[in-house]
Structure 1
Amino acid sequence: MKVIWIALGFCLISVSVSINLSNALRYTYVDILRDSIKTQQWDKDEELCLGTMLSILDHAKNFTLWAVWILDSLQPPAGQLFGQRYHLGNYDECLQPQKGFLLDPEVPRTQYCLVNVTLTVKNKVVNPADYVWINHNDTADFYLKKPSKFGRVLSSMFLGVCVPETCKPSSAAKIAKSILQTGHFGALSNSANIQTTNCDNAEGVNVQSSWAMIFVQLFLILTATSIFCTYYVRNNNGAPSSFVNELARSFCLKRNMDSLTRVRDEEVYSMNFLRIATCLAVVNLHYVMLVNAYFSINGLAQEYLMDKYGHVVTHADIVVDTFLALSGLLFTRGLFSDRSQNPLKFLWKRYIRLAAALTILLFYTVALSDRVAQGPIWQTLNDEHHRVCVDNWLLSLFMIGNVFRVEEICLPHTWYVPLDYQLCVLTAILYMIYKRNKIIGKCIFIVAFILSNIYPGLVTYVNEYPPLVFYGVESLADFRKNVVFNHFYIKSYCRAGPFMVGMVMGYIMFTFKPKDYRMTIGTLWSYLIVIFSVLLMIAVTAFGHHYYLVNEPVSNAIYVALNRTIWGMAVCTVIGASEYGHLPILNSLFSWYHLVPLSRLTYGVYLTHFLILQFLFFSMRTTFNLDLFVSGMETSGVMVYSLAASLLVWLLVEAPLININNMMIDYTWRKQTVNTSDTRKCINGGKKDVLIYN
């Protein structure tokens, strides 16, 4: 009998133990997160948020679809130690539950909040040459405090959380803190600085603002006007010259397309190739810059590429000086060739050429850029650009955006436009002095050229600036806080060197017209000159990587003073060898007809490509790993879209404004009736094209 009672007791104990073990095994991550959320300090006005969040977790514990759906959109940090900065979760899953199940009033509405988390205070960034690796036994806290070899900060992150719509930003930060506490960064969660940057609800993008509608209506009006004027000009080709007819010709699509594709009498074919190559390099440079600064899923892997190809990419921004050298060449040659001999008139035409596309770009940014998309980081990154442009777009339009409020310049990549125009003003002043007294004009130019090379070095040495605009990955993350960019890189008096080299080349090409001196230099010497110039460009870029690695104040200043001028000299030397020498193979490439229209669209590409990149990246739902193939593929796609946008802007805005400006200045409607048999005169309204191309 005793044996039976003992057996029965043993069975009861076994059942009790198994029940307790079963309950213990059912204590899941949801329970841990629930307990962590309850331990936070909640205010009275946050009780509704807390109660809703706990209800979501309770239903998720029971595996209810709508609750699991919400938790499924959350992502604990992953890859932070390897350079990942954004842990975005699933933005669309959080805001669009109707994609997975039928909505019900009992299902709480949710919002997506992006939370900025600083796990620990970072140490001072060290020079890459002085970087020391740490031991594997050191703490993760010590590792996070230490910036990477190229200055990447590992101690901060952005965490996307899906919370009830009743939660305030401060409540979302507490939920994010609970998520950290339940993960592998729990040891740092109490001391971490956690702040919510923005929250999005499911209302979507509001595109009904008055400014947005005005922009769309303006676009439709310009399109309709251009189509109407095209048919009008075609049906009234032989009509007498009048203000109305000339105005219609200004909007004629056929005329504007022909002006884009026409090969001019003194076409510099090598410049077409250089423009396109430089533009492609700039697009790729900005693509890589944004990926490294924001969106790399494996940031340390990208730094390996920077280590491997640093001699090329560290100072890749120098390719922009090709544009400056070409602009100086074209503007100076055009100024000397201008029949009116009126620098102010020529300068005004240059302003219209630069400002036409810039105006539509600024209008788009102010009116529509904050409403064209959405995403987990859209508001965080795009809204700041939009706010700055709303406040400062006039500075850009007046060509002084690189002088005043430089930390808040509208669209940072447009720094080139006011800088270019300011240097054109300098050229016009020097030209007027030269016309009055050639000796004094030449002397002043020489002094200005010398100062343009000395001053950048002095600025760098006195202010102890880094020698390059890139001085670590974080210097790319926000150019508005980049010291070199704000106080050196975008200043016309620090970038005049290559432009003035272009001025010299433009004067030479005006004095010794290439058509009269073709093949003056032999084939061998022509190729040797080109090879030497290319090697000089490579050397200038490679030395930039050296001075990025090694801090030598005097050498840095000398390099900063000369490197851009030397680059401009190399560019102009290639053009000179092409125009005055004999380069059978290269000149065949340079003179390829299709490069002509593509070259003339590069200014529009330069302006529009960054907006396309912003749309691509700022609306992203996830980050990705960058390699050379992906970089080339994405850059090619952005280039194609930018060319299409540039063509559209040219046909609807740039060319009509330039034509109207020329019409008003030159009174072209007072010309005699055009001959219908002369196609070129009919297209151009009886006047030789005087457009100033970039």
Structure 2
Amino acid sequence: MRRITVAIIISIHIVLTYGNVTSSTKNGDITTSIPLDNYAQNVSYIKSGEKKKESVKTFNLNDSPVYLDDVLFVLKHQNWTEEEQPCLRSTLLLLHNLQNFTLWAVWNWDAISSEPQGLLFGSKFHLGNFDECMSAPWYKTQPELRTQYCLADIVLERTDKPVKKRISDPYDPYQSALNLLEHRSVFRRSLNELTWGVCVPAVCQPKSVERLMGILLAHSHLGTAGLRTHISVTEPCQKVDEPIPFDALFYAFIGVMGSLTILALACTFIKYKKKDLNYNKIQDSIIIAFDIKTNAKNLLKTSGKGLEVLYGIKFLTMCVIVSAHQYGIFNGGPVSNGSKLDEEALTILGLMFLHEDVVVDSFFLLSGFLMATLLIKAKKLPNLFDFIIKRYVRLVVAYAVVIFYVCAIFPYTGSGPLWHRAIAADTEPCRKNWWLNLLMLSNYIDSQNICLVVSWYIPCDFHFCILTVALYCFYKKFPLAGKIIATVVSVAAILAPGIINYIYELPAIQLFTYDFMTNPRGSLQFHMTYIKSHTRYAAYLIGFLSGILYSYCAASDKFNKIPKKWSILGACLSIFTMGVVMFTGPMFLWRSYDVLESAIYAALNRPVWASCVALLVICLSLGHVPLIKGFLSWYPWVPLSRLSYGLYLIHAVFIARNVYVTRNPQHHDYINIMTHCLGIICEGSLAALLIWLIAEAPINNLLNVMFKFSNNEKKETNTEGQSSTNGENDKRTNRDHLHENMPTSVQIISSKI
């Protein structure tokens, strides 16, 4: 009897449970799409601040209001203007269909990062899924469902007014998270700033997007602290049906570069077929100037006996600059573990990246060093006007090609949530101020909108070259006055950075911190001391003086060899001192500010670095340092060093492109950085090679042809009238062109970088 009773109870329980399940299934909600025509009927479900009971909920939790209901409630009770009503209607329609789990609504919401993630770990960019937002399968057939992708910059501000005190441990787990949000690391990364991407209806205006994002942020975990938010949508939202149209600049670049390529290929073919070209005929000289094979061979020629180490120094210095810019631009973009990077900023590698700007002074030194050896070996003083023209063309051809590329082609090379910012940061300044760059004035005029941030080096080098050669020519004609002026200029060049730092109370140096990497044009120190020619001249002067010293020592029988032990000692001393300069600079980040101390360091750190590089070059060139000299003189450095100038110009464009096309925050680690660096160096060197073969070498060759035949005509004219103007001809000969009097070896090794 007991068994029968238990069996009956179990049977009744099963029947009741099955009945409840089937009833629930029959009464389940059907996924439907709410039409636009019935919009008013569908959205007027709130009365006197009371939510409609029948609204479909995504989930229930003890009958308490849930996320979507709260968002709907707040949206409805915002003060929307008349022009914002279409956005409100479309957004409410989206949320209602999301509650019903309709595909198009879920698709759009799925593309949104519902709330910031990883903010406390240094992840600033919360981009959602850009491609999902922009690539809905029905965007062509259902125009009313089209969306747009918008970016909002948000600053969080605490409202509780706590007593300000120094926080010994920002990661104390029992303190308020607001303290960590306010904390700025040594790397100067702010955790209370974020960039949030959202997929919204295409009819929404920036003001409406700001309102929507404020509501979403208030319903995230950050909304529990009552933070005050400053939200701004400053750039146009991206829409699928609004691609960037090809403009005249695009077709002009294709036409110009295509024409140069065809011309180079045609001249190469003609030279291959005609073996008897005459260098003394202008038409044959033009063909040879564009010959790809000849220009490629010039990259492989070794020259400058005794200075082979410069090849390795130049290219490896360029690699250091590329790695530093890769490190900086990469970590200024979307990174998931920014706080980890802040910790690594205090390691040996991190300190090197913080003060890598001093490496650029190595290029200034080498440029001055080579210019001195060139002038010392020249038989006569150069014609200053001709020299300026040759130097300008030598610098400007590749420079103009890269600027043209950034203006015309770069906007079409990528897409992504941050791509409009790439165009605003690189293309727009170039389209505005390209002429300042080509006039070598970009580091002085409107430098806040300088085209290509790294290009500040080019006008500096051009200014240094002209001024130094002019001073040298003046010294040759008036030795005593020349020495006095050279001394005054040298002292002024060393003191200028320190004086400016002291007057404006600037930091000791421009460190590559987070705020500088994200907006280099916004740094006051960048414009006051970092890019100005008069504050960077010291390294070039030291290079010029060391080049003169090297030339006289190499020509002397007594000082042309440095004993091995002294060479090793000098090389070790220079490397050690360079390390001291590089690692002491970042210490100013955590030291208390002292204006006099900062001014002294600003005045001396670059000249000391340049002096150490000069000592290293002289020890390696006139002496013997095992392993180092052989490594730096390795033959593969020869062509790579000659491509350094093109690599310098183009590498930052490639790095920025890779960063701005990213869809999600990337993980920072040194192997990842190194892998990217190797790719940029290879791509940049290949681009530099193409620029050299198609534009740079041919145009420089044409300039040489022009000077050559111009000089020949002058010589013929002078020969005809030699009997009557003999004395005048002697004076003109003393002002002969620099390229006629310099040894070929020195001319080849001289470089822009």
Q: 1:471 to 1:264 in 2, by over 3 A?
A: closer
Contact 1:514 1:579 in 2 (8 A): no
Q: 1:386 to 1:78 in 2, by over 3 A?
A: same
Contact 1:357 1:650 in 2 (8 A): yes
Q: Do residues 693 (structure 1) and 731 (structure 2) align?
A: no
TM-score by length of 1: 0.89
Q: Distance in 2 between matches of 1:383 and 1:121?
A: 31
Residue 358 of structure 1 aligns with an amino acid whose one-letter code is Y
Q: Do residues 264 (structure 1) and 303 (structure 2) align?
A: yes
Helix, strand or coil for the counterpart of 2:197? strand
Q: Deviations over 1:144-175 (max 9, x none)?
A: 23323332112121110001111111122122
Q: Do residues 89 (structure 1) and 128 (structure 2) align?
A: yes
Q: Deviations over 1:446-470 (max 9, x none)?
A: 2221221122111111211001112
**C-alpha displacement at 1:223, in angstroms?**
1.1
Match of 1:140 in 2: 177
Match of 1:229 in 2: 267
Residue 24 of structure 1 aligns with an amino acid whose one-letter code is N
Q: Which segment is superposed worse, 354-363 or 550-559?
A: 550-559
Contact 1:122 1:144 in 2 (8 A): no
**C-alpha displacement at 1:510, in angstroms?**
2.9
**C-alpha displacement at 1:439, in angstroms?**
2.9
- 5 Å-filtered alignment, 1:370-381, equals 370-381=411-422
TM-score by length of 2: 0.83
Helix, strand or coil for the counterpart of 1:116? strand
Q: 1:207 to 1:574 in 2, by over 3 A?
A: farther
Q: Distance in 2 between matches of 1:566 and 1:603?
A: 25
Q: Do residues 323 (structure 1) and 363 (structure 2) align?
A: yes
**C-alpha displacement at 1:106, in angstroms?**
6.8
Q: Do residues 656 (structure 1) and 695 (structure 2) align?
A: no
Q: Do residues 24 (structure 1) and 65 (structure 2) align?
A: no
Q: Deviations over 1:610-644 (max 9, x none)?
A: 00011111111112121111111111111111111
**C-alpha displacement at 1:296, in angstroms?**
2.0
Residue 281 of structure 1 aligns with an amino acid whose one-letter code is V
**C-alpha displacement at 1:23, in angstroms?**
7.0
Q: Do residues 335 (structure 1) and 375 (structure 2) align?
A: yes
Residue 316 of structure 1 aligns with an amino acid whose one-letter code is E
**C-alpha displacement at 1:367, in angstroms?**
2.0
Q: Do residues 184 (structure 1) and 225 (structure 2) align?
A: no
Residue 38 of structure 1 aligns with an amino acid whose one-letter code is K
- Structure 1: which 5+ runs fail to align? 1-6, 124-128, 672-686
Helix, strand or coil for the counterpart of 2:91? helix
Contact 1:526 1:577 in 2 (8 A): yes
Q: Do residues 291 (structure 1) and 326 (structure 2) align?
A: no
Helix, strand or coil for the counterpart of 1:667? helix
Q: Distance in 1 between matches of 2:59 and 2:630?
A: 80
Residue 196 of structure 1 aligns with an amino acid whose one-letter code is V
Q: Indicate which of 634, 639, 648 corresponds to 1:592.
A: 634
Q: 1:208 to 1:339 in 2, by over 3 A?
A: farther
Match of 2:289 in 1: 250
Q: Distance in 2 between matches of 1:394 and 1:599?
A: 28
Residue 294 of structure 1 aligns with an amino acid whose one-letter code is G
Match of 2:523 in 1: 482
Residue 96 of structure 2 aligns with an amino acid whose one-letter code is D
- 5 Å-filtered alignment, 1:338-349, equals 338-339=378-379, 341-342=381-382, 343-349=384-390
Match of 2:36 in 1: none
Match of 2:85 in 1: 47
Q: 1:265 to 1:277 in 2, by over 3 A?
A: closer
Helix, strand or coil for the counterpart of 2:221? coil
- Based on CA coordinates, which of the two structures has the bigger radius of gyration? 2
Q: 1:421 to 1:145 in 2, by over 3 A?
A: same
Q: Distance in 2 between matches of 1:396 and 1:333?
A: 28
Q: 1:366 to 1:517 in 2, by over 3 A?
A: farther
Q: Distance in 2 between matches of 1:416 and 1:392?
A: 16
Helix, strand or coil for the counterpart of 1:599? helix
Residue 406 of structure 1 aligns with an amino acid whose one-letter code is S
**C-alpha displacement at 1:474, in angstroms?**
1.2
Contact 2:448 2:522 in 1 (8 A): yes
Residue 183 of structure 1 aligns with an amino acid whose one-letter code is S
Residue 693 of structure 1 aligns with an amino acid whose one-letter code is S
Helix, strand or coil for the counterpart of 2:440? coil
RMSD: 3.0
Alignment size in residue pairs: 664
- 5 Å-filtered alignment, 1:175-574, equals 175-187=212-224, 191-198=228-235, 199-203=237-241, 205-240=243-278, 241-266=280-305, 268-309=307-348, 310-339=350-379, 341-342=381-382, 343-470=384-511, 472-513=513-554, 520-550=561-591, 551-574=593-616
Contact 1:227 1:252 in 2 (8 A): yes
Q: Distance in 2 between matches of 1:521 and 1:22?
A: 82
Q: Which segment is superposed worse, 205-214 or 243-252?
A: 205-214
Q: Do residues 112 (structure 1) and 149 (structure 2) align?
A: yes
Match of 1:680 in 2: none
Identity among equivalent pairs (%):
29
Helix, strand or coil for the counterpart of 2:233? strand
Contact 1:85 1:156 in 2 (8 A): yes
Q: Distance in 2 between matches of 1:295 and 1:535?
A: 36
Q: Distance in 1 between matches of 2:242 and 2:294?
A: 42
Helix, strand or coil for the counterpart of 1:332? helix
Helix, strand or coil for the counterpart of 1:141? helix
Contact 2:170 2:179 in 1 (8 A): no
**C-alpha displacement at 1:188, in angstroms?**
6.3
Q: Do residues 642 (structure 1) and 678 (structure 2) align?
A: no
Helix, strand or coil for the counterpart of 2:60? helix
Q: Distance in 2 between matches of 1:338 and 1:205?
A: 56
Q: Distance in 2 between matches of 1:457 and 1:568?
A: 17
Q: Do residues 576 (structure 1) and 618 (structure 2) align?
A: yes
Contact 2:336 2:667 in 1 (8 A): yes
**C-alpha displacement at 1:311, in angstroms?**
3.5
Q: Deviations over 1:375-416 (max 9, x none)?
A: 101112432432222221111111111111121211111000
Q: Distance in 1 between matches of 2:135 and 2:559?
A: 67
